[in-house]
Amino acid sequence: MIKLSKLSDYAIVVLSQLAAEQGTLLTASELSTKTTIPEPTVAKVLKLLSKSEIINSSRGVRGGYNMTRAPKEITVAELIEALEGPILITSCADHQVEADCNIAEICPMHGKWARVNMVVKDALGTLALSDLLVSVRKKSA
């Protein structure tokens, strides 16, 4: 089974909130309150998304986070890689690991997983973040 971590789920919720309030800087605390995700988890998600330049981070009293691009311009593959690391079906799909494999010369799957991995990665690259966003209701102040 291929399974993403809860962090990826949380990222979709956080990004949904940022997308709903496009153009507004939101702090980690505000995002935590609006999404009901614990603030340390929101902060971790924001750090990873910022590092991958999916969101902007602005420091200071009037600082916060906002999206760098429209949700339709961010691929699901990009999002998964930002949160989970490289997309690999098995370690055999990673050429560096494959070189260290003890049974690579006799393995019937040698070289085959890389193709499967590429198909999955390409498919995730055709989906946009906008395809995953959840509906967010803005709370009135």
Interval 36-52: pLDDT, tens: 999 999 999 999 999 99
In whole angstroms, what is the distance from residue 19 CA to residue 26 CA? 11
pLDDT band at 93 (very low <50, low <70, confident <90, very high): low
Residue 91: what pLDDT? 72
Contacts of 121 (CB under 8 A, 6+ apart): 77, 87
Express each pLDDT in 1-21 by its tens digit: 578 899 999 999 999 999 999
Express each pLDDT in 48-89 by its tens digit: 999 999 999 999 888 899 999 999 999 999 999 999 998 888
Q: How many CA atoms lie within 13 A of 71 on its CB side?
A: 19
In whole angstroms, what is the distance from residue 56 CA to residue 69 CA? 9
Is the model more confident about 139 or about 64?
Answer: 64
Is the pTM for the entire model greater than 0.85? no
pLDDT band at 105 (very low <50, low <70, confident <90, very high): confident
Residue with structure tokens 């049974």? 103
End-to-end CA distance of the chain: 43
